[in-house]
Amino acid sequence: MPSSFIESIRQVLRTKHYSLRTEKSYLYWVRYFIRFHQYMHPKDMQGCHIEQFLTFLSCNRGVSSATQNQALCALIFMFKHVLSMEFEGLKYGYAKKPKNLPTVLTPIEVALILRHLSAPYWLLTSLLYGCGLRLREALTLRVQNVNIEAQSLFVFRGKGAKDRYTLLPKQLNQPLQNQIQLVNEIHKNDLNNGNGLTSVPSALHRKYKSVLKDLSWQYLFPSTTTCCHPIDGYLCRHHIHESSFSKNLRNAVIKSNIQKRVTAHTFRHSFATQLLAQGSDIRTVQELLGHKDLRTTEIYTHVLGQNRAGTISPFDRLSDIVN
């Protein structure tokens, strides 16, 4: 498939301001789809070709419903926005996701994991649990987003492109100040080497180019190396990669001997569950988490077992009868 077609999809994605992660994901599925159909051009395809591909993913690859939906989104985007083609009556709609209750950690389990993490991953994990952040939100924090005086964090363009404030644990004040000092040292070294720019979306780069060398714009968790911006091509310092955090977290969980599937998002689940267990108002928790729909927050009440309203199992009443 000519790269010009792939490039045309990329241009439409960027015109519509899709994130770089979504762009990479969509282009992956489009390439996969084209290879699956022996490099036939999508303009010559029909709805049955989409159905064949989704059947292959589900039956042969055994992908999850979320992965199947992601592939379908990519193909619909390509046909609708790039080729101006729409198909009606597809056998496949968006797959229904299973409603699983989230895994949560007890405070003791969180402490055990933190004990096996070193800087900067200790602080990063502490923010996930202490502030209820998503991993992406924590990684993209900048120095200017930390307000120790007000004990708050500003989350810029969280999920759904929504800004919000969340609380900041007092016990993290000193570690955060130490981290900012480290960022300052790294930044001064970059400036001495003629660099010092941080990575930002293209629109912000054009708008704030003159201030992107300020300390306030630097990532709170900067990468150990500089790189070229994937869109604008300038030399900059990005943040720690997600895979680096995941690797360190996995090692810490293994050392802690915790028999649960723990991911970065587990700490966000644990944050919400602990707040509700302590009596926090569910609307407040919804606001801190940045949930659009209260029903999304209500799942944590089920984790706590509040939906059982103190119901006692009949088995526990047997001893009263026997005695």
Query: Is 134 known to be catalytic?
Result: yes
Q: How far is CA 217 from CA 160, 191, 199, 206, 275, in A?
A: 22, 14, 9, 14, 31
For the beta sheet containing 164-167, the strands, ordered from the edge strand earlier in sequence to the opposite edge, are: 146-147, 152-155, 164-167
Q: Please list the alpha-helical segments (H only) found in the chain.
A: 3-15, 20-36, 47-55, 65-77, 107-115, 121-131, 135-139, 173-192, 202-208, 242-256, 264-277, 282-289, 294-304, 318-322
Catalytic annotation, pick one of 142, 187, 268, 269:
268
Task: Please give the Cα distance from 212 to 198 (Å, whole number).
Answer: 6
DSSP 5-42: HHHHHHHHHHHTT--HHHHHHHHHHHHHHHHHTTT--G
Catalytic annotation, pick one of 159, 164, 229, 238:
159
Task: Please give the Cα distance from 287 to 161 (Å, whole number).
Answer: 15
Which is nearest to 117 in space by CA: 268, 267, 289, 271? 267
Query: Is 115 known to be catalytic?
Result: no
Catalytic annotation, pick one of 49, 213, 238, 265:
265
Rg of the Cα atoms in the chain: 24
Query: Is 17 known to be catalytic?
Result: no
Query: Is 300 known to be catalytic?
Result: yes
Task: Please give the Cα distance from 200 to 311 (Å, whole number).
Answer: 52
Catalytic annotation, pick one of 10, 134, 142, 205:
134
Which is nearest to 242 in space by CA: 134, 118, 165? 134
Query: Is 265 known to be catalytic?
Result: yes
Task: Provide the sign of the torsion angle of the four alpha carbons 281, 286, 287, 293, taken in this order.
Answer: negative
Task: Please give the Cα distance from 190 to 187 (Å, whole number).
Answer: 5
Catalytic amino acids? 134, 159, 265, 268, 291, 300
